[in-house]
């Protein structure tokens, strides 16, 4: 107990790096927020220096910064054996390509740094404090301008040589849908048919203007149910948790569940069939999932280093 009283109390930093802003949070070991700021995303030099300065200036009053968790737009190199591990790689924001995120914060703050994709970060957030609490096997899917997923299997983020990109899976076209995939690369592409961008292009209006009884949502629910079928068989999760702008429309959930039930036709794991209402669920943390995950990553890095 004495340790938590003195100035060397370990503090944890979380950064959510987005295309328009960087959210930065300083928290103590129990998760209480000590300081928070938002920094507009401009050039890498300016933005990263402002993030660094926030932690340098805010931490000393409360303790000592022990570790930083960063969840970031990508693509990221997350292969620990790679020479460019921790870099943003080729991104659509040219100034941010080949930026060494982990290296920058390690050097300038002299601390442990963990990095994950935005969607993996949100999955970590849901796992530690949200809809995936105490659930070792689940999928967190975000449906917004794009579609992405973070997968927990056996209590850990599942990863191959790179993070999964479920948005690119090929799916059967819906019967009533004559829209071509808006993905510039792939036909039959989930993201090209069911992302917010696809809905916008198909109906020539922002999804938020489409009423609940519009055909748009029947088509959307069909594609998201196909995705759930494939996630179910590929990862055998206990839950599929949805986040992202499109999924803020509550009426989508019963539609997805009804489609999924129809498609599975009585054949699936018991956990799926017995209670669809607890299988297909919305995020608990909403817009805070990413920054919550970033703080969790920092705490975990600190504990692992201390125990190793």
Interface residues with a copy of itself (CB under 8 A)? 137, 153-154, 158-173, 185-188, 226, 229-230, 233-238, 263-267, 269, 271
CB of 115 to a copy of itself, least distance (A): 17
Alpha-carbon torsion angle 184, 185, 190, 193, nearest 10: 30
Polymer length of the chain: 308
Q: CB-wise, 46 or 162, nearer to a copy of itself?
A: 162
Q: CB-wise, 18 or 144, nearer to a copy of itself?
A: 144
Q: CB-wise, 90 or 208, nearer to a copy of itself?
A: 90
CB of 185 to a copy of itself, least distance (A): 4
Q: Counting beta carbons within 10 angstroms of the beta carbon of residue 52, is it exposed (0 to 12), middle (13 to 18) or buried (19 or more)?
A: middle
Query: Strand 10-17 and strand 21-27: pairing?
Result: antiparallel
Query: Strand 87-88 and strand 147-153: pairing?
Result: unpaired
The 3 state secondary structure assigned to 80-148 is: CCCCCCCEECCCCCHHHCCEEHHHHHHHHHCCEEEEEEHHHHHHHHHHHHCCCCCCCCEEEEEECCCEE
Q: CB-wise, 94 or 154, nearer to a copy of itself?
A: 154
CB of 143 to a copy of itself, least distance (A): 16
CB of 186 to a copy of itself, least distance (A): 6
Q: CB-wise, 12 or 223, nearer to a copy of itself?
A: 223
Only one residue has tokens 């590929």, namely 234
CB of 254 to a copy of itself, least distance (A): 21
Could you tell me if 181 and 189 are in contact, meaning their C-beta atoms sit under 8 angstroms apart? yes
CB of 149 to a copy of itself, least distance (A): 9
- The sign one gets for the Cα dihedral 113, 114, 117, 118 is negative
Q: Which residues have C-beta within 8 Å of that of residue 9, sequence separation ≥ 6?
A: 3, 28, 29, 62, 63, 64
CB of 11 to a copy of itself, least distance (A): 30
Q: CB-wise, 104 or 235, nearer to a copy of itself?
A: 235
Alpha-carbon distance 225 to 66, whole Å?
A: 42
Could you tell me if 137 and 235 are in contact, meaning their C-beta atoms sit under 8 angstroms apart? yes
Q: CB-wise, 14 or 150, nearer to a copy of itself?
A: 150
Tokens of 245: 């702008």
Q: CB-wise, 4 or 187, nearer to a copy of itself?
A: 187
Q: CB-wise, 14 or 132, nearer to a copy of itself?
A: 132
Tokens of 6: 């003195």
CB of 190 to a copy of itself, least distance (A): 9
CB of 234 to a copy of itself, least distance (A): 5
Adjacent-strand bridge partners of 302:
none
């Amino acid at each position: 107990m004495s340790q938590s009283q003195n100035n060397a109390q370990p503090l944890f930093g979380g950064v959510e790096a987005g295309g328009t802003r960087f959210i930065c949070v300083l928290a103590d070991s129990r998760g209480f927020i000590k300081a928070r700021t938002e920094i507009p995303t401009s050039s890498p030099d300016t933005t990263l220096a402002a993030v660094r300065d926030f932690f340098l200036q805010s931490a000393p009053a409360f303790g000592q910064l022990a570790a930083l968790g960063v969840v970031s737009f990508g693509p990221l190199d997350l292969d620990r054996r790679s020479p460019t591990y921790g870099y943003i790689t080729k991104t659509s924001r040219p100034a941010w390509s080949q930026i060494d995120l982990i290296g920058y914060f390690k050097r300038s703050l002299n601390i442990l740094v963990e990095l994950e994709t935005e969607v993996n970060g949100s999955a970590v957030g849901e796992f530690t404090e949200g809809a995936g609490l105490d659930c070792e096997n689940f999928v967190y899917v975000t449906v917004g301008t794009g579609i992405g997923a973070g997968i927990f299997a056996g209590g850990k983020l599942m990863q191959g040589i790179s993070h999964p990109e479920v948005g690119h899976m090929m799916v059967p076209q819906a019967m009533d849908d004559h829209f071509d995939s808006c993905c510039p690369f792939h036909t039959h592409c989930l993201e090209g048919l069911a992302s917010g961008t696809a809905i916008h292009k198909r109906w020539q209006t922002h999804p938020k203007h489409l009423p609940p009884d519009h055909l748009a949502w029947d088509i959307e629910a069909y594609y998201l149910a196909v995705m759930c079928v494939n996630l179910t068989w590929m990862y055998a999760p206990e839950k599929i948790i949805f986040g992202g702008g499109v999924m803020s429309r509550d009426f989508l959930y019963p539609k997805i569940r009804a489609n999924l039930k129809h498609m599975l036709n009585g054949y699936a794991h018991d956990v799926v069939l017995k209670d669809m209402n607890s299988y297909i669920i919305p995020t608990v943390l909403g817009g805070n999932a990413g920054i919550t995950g970033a703080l969790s990553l920092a705490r975990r890095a600190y504990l692992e280093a201390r125990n190793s």
